[in-house]
Structure formats: C-alpha cells, structure tokens
Structure 1
Amino acid sequence: MRWKVHGTREIYDSAWVRLRLDDVTLPSGLRIDHHVIEFPKASVGAVVTDTDDRILLLWRHRHITDASGWEIPAGWAEPDEDLAEAARREVLEETGYDAEHLTKLTVYHPLSGISTMTYTVFHATEVTKIGEPEVDEADRVAWFTPAEARALLAKGQVPDGPSLTALGMYLATTAG
C-alpha cells in the first residue's frame, strides 16, 4: 500500500524548515498534491535522570501554541554533529547540567504523515550542575520522581509532543 510519487516541487526553503509539494497517487488511485515539511537538521532530546531516578524537566512557554508546560531538554543537531553530543549540549544549554553518560532510548518520526522529522531520544545520566540554563531556554528547571512525572503526563502538563513521547517511553521501559 505505497503511495506513488510523480514529482516534487519546492515551495519554501530556509535553514530551519523546507516546504515541498509532492504530486502523489494514493493506493485508491486518487491523485493529489501532498504538502511535506522537511527539517534539514536532526532533532534530539534527552530524558535526564539522577542517581535517585528523578527526572529533570524544564518549564517553557511556546508562543506558537500559546501553551506552557514541562519538557525534556531538546533541540537540533548541527550538521555532522554526533547526535549524543548534540543532546548533551542541549541538556547543558537548557538546564545547566552536564551529562556524562548518554544512551539511545528511541528513534521515531513524530509527524510521519506530513514531515520528514526524525527525533532521537537519549537517556542522560551521571549529571552535574555546572551553571544556569540559558535565559531563553527555560523559565525554571525541576526534578521529579517517576510517580510525579506520570502525574504530570496524566494531568496534561507535558503538552509538547516529543517530550510526551520521550517521557512516556522512558517511564514505560526504564523507570522504576
């Protein structure tokens, strides 16, 4: 049940995002124009835990959705940057903590029906506070037990999709 792509036309291109229009035929035979959002940089995030299995989250407001909530540290990898190092850099920039050890937790496509985005999530451990978060990155940073993190998810206090997925994956497969 594959879509047949007849051609692609670029609509918009920037360092942050590209938009293209694909001419496709669906399995039913219907031919349509389908918009595709391309992200030129890889996306990374990290579920950060300490020796007590607490989870480090940051509180942010997102102007696009006009929503605030708890998130994991996340961002883009630079071209040719190692994904684990990119996640480590994002943890430091957004929380003020340096993570000594990162292991891959999962890789997924958060918007697979319309976007090429690939999101890689790491589990960051052996953390040390070495500074403050960058002023534009977080309103506050706090530690939560796994039970508290589950409650945040249940109450809708993690509205960011990649954070929601990463936390859910961590809590389902790793946390006590």
Structure 2
Amino acid sequence: MRWKNLREQTVYENRWFRVNLADVELPDGRHLDHFVIRLRPVAAATAVNDANEVLLLWRHRFITGTWGWELAAGVVEDGEDVAAAAAREMEEETGWRPGRLRHLLSVEPSNGLTDARHHIYWSDEAAYIGHPEDAFESDKRAWVPLKQVPDMVARGEVPAANMAAALLLLHHIRLG
C-alpha cells in the first residue's frame, strides 16, 4: 500500500533542517496531515587497525540524555563529496586521518518522520595528526576491540541505531 505525498509546505527552516507539513493521501483515499523533517545527508567514518580495534568516540547526547559509543559523524556541506565529508569529520572529531575510505552502509534512521540518510565509511588504516579540532564533541576517543562490539550493543553502550548497525557489520566483516 502506497501513501501519496500530494504537496508539502515549509513551516520552519534553518541551516540544519526544514520542517514541512505534507498533505498525504492514504490508499483508501483519506487525507492525513503529516509533519516531515527534511535534513541534509550525514557522513560518518571510523578506522579498524591491525589489532582489530575500532576508533570510537564516547559522548553524551543531551536530546536523549544518554551516553554512548559512536563513530565520528556530521552533515555533508553543500557541494561536498560524501566520502570527503566522512574523512573530514573523522579528522576533526578524533585527530586521526583515515586512509582510503570504503563505503560500509547507508541507512535511514527514522524514515517515518525524517528523510535523513546516513552514509557510513571505514578504513583499515589511519594516521594520528594531533589533538582533535572538535574535541568538545566527545569526552574521549578510544580504540575499542571489535570483538567487544556485540556485547557493547547488547548492553546499550551504542544507543544510536545507525552506529550499532555499522559496528555490527564491521564486526562481521573483520571477524566473521
């Protein structure tokens, strides 16, 4: 059953997102007003070293009041290549510059409300370039053994679904 978005009207916008009100036609012909949040794409990146440790950030998310492990991530600037944005975010937030990035997955973390698309990359090498420019984004940065990832996810230490999916896939790729 397909819902049809007949038209949208912007009710609020800023440089980060737009909130639109959509006139949606349901399969039975009824109409529904539905709010939609339109966001720019997000790029994320991490690295896995020779010891099968993954580079992560420990940070607090004030919106949900939770702490958790995450990959470096941020919005893709207008005209910016997505992989280049992922590399930039990793460098700014961790102080590590990734080697050649490989696309891991793209996910839509909340597609019932927003069109957000998160593109996640990884590298099997990284070079430390110094203290992170955006150190305020996390309490610490650490190389965490990839073998611990499934238990970390199960304990709720990786609360963001996009980050949990990426880390579990990396665990599968590297450790089978």
Common topology (TM > 0.5): yes
- Render the CA deviation track for 1:32-59: whole Å, top value 9, x for unaligned: 10110001x2101123211222111110
Query: Does structure 1 retain, via aligned residues, the 8 Å contact 2:22–2:36?
Result: yes
| Paired residue type of 2:141 | V
What amino acid sits opposite 2:158 in the alignment?
A: V
Please list, as runs of the form range in 1=range in 2, the aligned pairs for 1:19-58 lying within 5 A after superposition. Answer: 19-39=19-39, 41-58=40-57
Bigger mean CA offset, 44-53 vs 62-71: 44-53
Q: Which whole-Å CA distance do the structure 1 matches of 2:36 and 2:62 have between them?
A: 23
Match of 1:107 in 2: 106
Counterparts of 1:10-159 in structure 2, within 5 Å, are: 10-39=10-39, 41-133=40-132, 134-159=134-159
TM-score (norm 1): 0.93
Could you tell me how far apart the structure 1 residues matched to 2:21 and 2:112 are? 13
Percent identity, aligned pairs only, is 36
> What is the TM-score with the length of structure 2 in the denominator?
0.93
Q: CA deviation at 1:145?
A: 1.5
- Using the alignment, how far apart are the partners of 1:160 and 1:65 within structure 2? 10
- How many angstroms apart in 1 are the aligned matches of 2:69 and 2:56? 6
1:6 and 1:146 mapped to 2: Cα distance?
46
Superposed displacement of residue 106, structure 1: 1.0
CA distance in 2, matches of 1:66, 1:141: 19
State the alpha-carbon separation in 2 of the partners of residues 108 and 62 from structure 1.
Answer: 20
Q: How far apart are 1:76 and its partner, in Å?
A: 0.9
1:136 aligned counterpart, secondary structure: helix
List, as ranges, runs of 4+ consecutive aligned residues in structure 1 with deviation greater than 3 Å. Answer: none
Q: Distance in 2 between matches of 1:27 and 1:63?
A: 38
Q: Larger deviation: 86-95 or 47-56?
A: 47-56
Deviation, 1:18, is 0.4
Partner of 1:101, secondary structure, is coil
Task: Give the alignment's Cα RMSD to 1 decimal.
Answer: 1.3
Kindly state the Cα deviation for residue 151 of structure 1 after the two structures are TM-superposed: 1.7
**In the comparison of the two structures, how many residue pairs are matched?**
174
Deviations 1:98-156 (A, max 9, x none): 11110111112111111111111111221011112223121101111122122211111
Gaps of 5+ in 1: none
Structure 1 residues 170 and 28 mapped into 2: Cα distance closer, same or farther (>3 Å)?
farther
